[in-house]
Amino acid sequence: SSLDQTLTEQIAALKEERDAVILAHNYQIPAVQEIADRVGDSLELARAAAEFDAGVIVFCGVDFMAETAAILSPEKTVVLPAADACCPMAEMITAGEVRVLRERFPDAAVVAYVNTSAEVKAESDICCTSANAVAAVESLDAEEVIFLPDRNLGRYVARFTEKKILPWDGYCIVHNRMTADKVAAARRSHPDAGVLVHPECRPGVIDLADHVFSTSGMVRHACASPRREFVIGTEVGLLHQLEKKCPGKVFYPLSKQAVCVNMKKTDLAKVLAALERFEPRVTVPEETAARARTAIQRMLDLPR
Ligand code: 13P
Ligand code: SF4
């Protein structure tokens, strides 16, 4: 629309003036993806936050992603345009609960999915994303690993390691709703399509998929594959990147209802306001940030 066009131009001008970069997760609305300097999965955006040489990061995503950026770059100003954009899964475990687990399983190491609060990361040995969860688990000396908070990702990782995985009982409210029946129905409707799903899906969904990838992993696979059609088992926002990066290919959402409302709270007006006011700002107290940084840095140091 012409309003979007005006906002887009204002954002581009102010971004220069403010020495800001805009990072957007693959689930953001298309208009926001289009104004970003980098669109990616959680791992790519964490790396970008650390590597971009800018004074200000405008993080179009949910709170734990902006927190991770603030932890990695304490000298940068990190703003989250939608102050109330949270990840319900990240709220399914607290730092106190991690400490209780440590007492109950003193020999176990703790792997925290990045979808956690800074306080939970601070209690953990290493972080991971959907793109490197197996590598994070395998990098540890311990034979027992507490994996939190996502039980589905934890069980997925358990398929690839000899270590004993103790998964916490959290889950993503969007991915956990997808069912194996949906995959079977999608295969009947689209017999030539490849089925790509996110590891936050239930084990029964994963069993029926052709491949399991992070959001950006799906984009890379779809572009490189000789196949033309894909069923996509993740949040529907990814379809914008898939269609953009893989022209001529066709993508069907596994579920049209797979919408993360928190990822849709960011719009162009909020991005512009965030650039004008440097608010809502995300900061992490250095005492917590220092411990969380160790866990995140261990993840970033994993071989790529
Ligand atoms: P990715 O790291 O694969 O983009 O996943 C982030 C997320 O929130 C999935 O629901
Ligand atoms: Fe959290 Fe799920 Fe939304 Fe990802 S899709 S941000 S895991 S609620």
CA of 9 to the centre of ligand 1 (A): 29
Question: DSSP alpha helices (H): ranges in 39-196?
Answer: 42-51, 63-72, 95-104, 118-122, 133-138, 151-158, 180-189
CA of 234 to the centre of ligand 1 (A): 9
| Ligand 1 atom nearest residue 115's Cα | 8
* Distance in angstroms (rounded) separating the CA atoms of residues 71 and 119: 11
Domains along the sequence of the chain with CATH: 2-86+263-284 (3.40.50.10800), 89-170+288-300 (3.40.50.10800), 175-259 (3.40.50.10800)
> What per-residue confidence (pLDDT) applies to 246?
97
Answer yes or no: is the C-beta of 92 below 6 A from any ligand 2 atom.
no
Residue among 172, 177, 214 whose CB has most ligand 2 atoms within 8 A, to mutate: 172
Answer yes or no: is the C-beta of 55 below 6 A from any ligand 2 atom.
no
> What per-residue confidence (pLDDT) applies to 304?
84
Answer yes or no: is the C-beta of 130 below 6 A from any ligand 1 atom.
yes
CA of 43 to the centre of ligand 1 (A): 9
Phi first, then psi: give them for residue 146, nearest 5 degrees.
-80, 125
Burial 155-193 (b: 16+ CB within 10 A, else e): bbbbeeeebebbbbebbbebbbebbbebbeebeeeeeeb
Nearest CA to ligand 2 atom 1: 87
Q: In 3D, which of 242, 208, 240 has the Cα closest to residue 228?
A: 242
Residue among 92, 148, 156, 174 whose CB has most ligand 2 atoms within 8 A, to mutate: 174
Q: In 3D, which of 176, 46, 163 has the Cα closest to residue 110?
A: 163
Answer yes or no: is the C-beta of 28 below 6 A from any ligand 1 atom.
no
| 3-class DSSP state of 15 | helix
Written as tens digits, the pLDDT of the chain (304 aa) is 899 999 999 999 999 999 999 999 999 999 999 999 999 999 999 999 999 999 999 999 999 999 999 999 999 999 999 999 999 999 999 999 999 999 999 999 999 999 999 999 999 999 999 999 999 999 999 999 999 999 999 999 999 999 999 999 999 999 999 999 999 999 999 999 999 999 999 999 999 999 999 999 999 999 999 999 999 999 999 999 999 999 999 999 999 999 999 999 999 999 999 999 999 999 999 999 999 999 999 999 999 8
CA of 112 to the centre of ligand 1 (A): 14
Question: DSSP alpha helices (H): ranges in the chain?
Answer: 2-18, 30-35, 42-51, 63-72, 95-104, 118-122, 133-138, 151-158, 180-189, 203-208, 215-224, 238-245, 268-277, 286-300
- pLDDT tens digits, 213-240: 999 999 999 999 999 999 999 999 999 9
> What per-residue confidence (pLDDT) applies to 234?
98
Would the pTM count as exceeding 0.95?
A: yes
CA of 89 to the centre of ligand 2 (A): 7
* Distance in angstroms (rounded) separating the CA atoms of residues 259 and 240: 13
Residue among 38, 39, 42 whose CB has most ligand 1 atoms within 8 A, to mutate: 42
Q: What is the largest CA-CA distance in the chain?
A: 59
* Distance in angstroms (rounded) separating the CA atoms of residues 288 and 265: 27
First CA to last CA distance, the chain: 40
Q: In 3D, which of 294, 280, 303, 302 has the Cα closest to residue 59?
A: 280
> What per-residue confidence (pLDDT) applies to 1?
86
Residue with tokens 């411990």: 291
172 secondary structure, DSSP code:
-
| 178 close to 201: Cβ distance less than 8 angstroms | yes
Which amino acid, one-letter code, is at 3? L
- Name the token pair of 16: 């220069």
Regarding an ipTM greater than 0.85, the answer is yes
